[in-house]
Amino acid sequence: MSMVDKAKRLLSFILPQALTLSFSLVVSDVFSQNFQYSTAPNGKLHIKKSFPSKFVKKRDIFIWVPENYTEHRKYPVIYIQDGANLFSLGNKNTDQDFNSWKLDEIASNLIRRGEIRPFIAIGIQNSVERHAEYFPQKPWVALTPEQQEDMTSRKINPSYSDKVFPDSIKSDDYLKFIVQELKPFIDSSFAVSRELHDTFVMGASFGGLISIYALTEYPHIFGGAACLSTHWSGLFDMNNNPIPEKIVQYLNENLPTSGYHRIYFDHGTETLDALYPPLQDRIDRIMLDKGYSKNDWLTYVDYGAPHTGRAWSMRLDIPLKFLFKIGSKIIYLD
């Protein structure tokens, strides 16, 4: 069997629904060759299988480029958590499609209408250690040993055996993976701008936590963050929960002051999102104290929305327009 035949066979397992893809898909496979697999109007997706790392477990990376992508210009770039849930893979009427953010469709429509700048999206697949990689490490370290022991014993739901934190927290290593390994690969492989005002990070739920943590830990790398339904509670209830206090304390002490970054928060009001309004209010007070205004900060409340991928998809245009709207670059202070 030839190398090309092997690649095609591999693709048949990776993308069994490929013939119904709603956008142009380009897959970077284990042989380091690109295969254009379908043609349609919503940009192109490259999949880098099993991206290696010395900091975290290997994972797939999804790189979406907009329609009419060219190497003769530099595009803003956004690194997004839970990357396998971002794009419309054509699996209509399935749970995967229902919970997809449909970023390729939404972004392409906004770009065509001239509402946002064309950009490149980097979807980072989560690992089985998602909570351990996404929960901010410095607030965790600020917990007492007794509190940490209590947090590691908590379950996602009393009816389930799964714990919220079954693994040791490793979000600092996860950010090293993004900054020291993934970003240099993207910078050298795609036509992305390396400017602070063109480099963003985004995520939902725990992904929102790691996104604001990324901006706070690497303010010279990430010029903006979009945090949807940020899981400020850490746990799935507020009973004897010290986590929000430690997160508030950390951001109060470390979040960059205004003038260099754009920050977006949102939440719904139903299901798990019902926990967030009073917690987001505390974060909003920090934003005001640090000088943020409507020019560089937005907190949006989606009344009636639950904690689902579908809900995030329905309002995804709001953070995209906030980060990538025409003329949205931060003017640096002297």
pLDDT at 146 over 50: yes
Q: What angle do CA 326, 46, 227 make, to 5 degrees?
A: 50
Q: Is the pLDDT of residue 211 over 70?
A: yes
Please tell me the distance from the alpha carbon of residue 183 to that of residue 143, in angstroms, as a whole number.
31
**Predicted local confidence at residue 122, as pLDDT:** 98
pLDDT above 50: residue 21: no
Residues 6 or more apart whose Cβ sits within 8 Å of residue 299: 264, 265, 266, 280, 283, 284, 287
264, 128, 126, 154: CA torsion to nearest 10: 0
pLDDT for 250 beyond 80: yes
φ/ψ of 254, rounded to 5, equals -125, -20
Is the pLDDT confidence value at 9 over 60?
no
Q: How far lies 114's CA from each of 73, 295, 314, in Å?
A: 17, 20, 19
Question: Kindly report the CA angle at 219 between 291 and 328, in degrees rounded to 5?
Answer: 65
Residue 63 and residue 104 in contact, taking contact as beta carbons nearer than 8 Å: no
Whether the predicted model's global pTM rises above the 0.85 cut = yes
Domains of the chain and CATH, by start: 3-324 (3.40.50.1820)
What b/e sequence results for 276-310 when a residue is b if at least 16 CB atoms lie within 10 Å of its CB, and e otherwise? beebbeebeeebeebebeeebbbbeebeebebbbe
Give the whole-angstrom CA distance, residue 127 versus residue 133.
8
Q: What are phi and psi of 80, to 5 degrees?
A: -125, 135
* Cα separations in angstroms, 253 against 37, 210, 217, 262, 289: 48, 17, 12, 18, 11
- What does the pLDDT read at residue 159? 74
Instruction: Say which residues have a Cβ less than 8 Å from residue 39's Cβ, sequence separation at least 6.
Output: 24
Beta-strand pair 34-38/24-28: antiparallel
pLDDT tens per residue, range 155-180:
988 777 899 999 899 999 999 999 99
95 or 252: whose pLDDT is higher?
A: 252
Condensed to tens digits (0 to 9), the pLDDT of residues 285-309 reads 999 999 999 999 999 999 999 999 9
- Average per-residue pLDDT for the chain: 87
What sign for the dihedral angle of Cα 48, 54, 55, 58? positive
Distance CA 221, CA 217 (A): 9
List, in order, residues 6 or more apart from 85 with CB less than 8 Å away.
96, 99, 100, 101, 309
Residues in contact with 29: Cβ distance below 8 Å, sequence separation at least 6, in sequence order: 7, 10, 11, 35, 47, 49
Rounded to an integer, what distance in angstroms lies between the CA atom of residue 169 and that of residue 308?
A: 24
The whole-angstrom separation of Cα 283 and Cα 299 is 10
The answer to whether residue 214 scores a pLDDT higher than 80 is yes
Q: Side chain identity at 90, as an amino acid letter?
A: G
Q: What is the pLDDT of residue 157?
A: 82
Q: List, in sequence order, every residue forming a beta bridge with 62; answer none if it has no partner.
A: 47, 123
Q: How confident is the model at residue 73 (pLDDT cuts 50, 70, 90)?
A: very high
CA 144 to chain centre: 29
Highest average pLDDT, of 19-33, 38-52, 310-324, comes from 310-324
As a whole number of angstroms, the distance between CA 1 and CA 208 comes to 45
* 137 vs 16: which has the higher pLDDT: 137
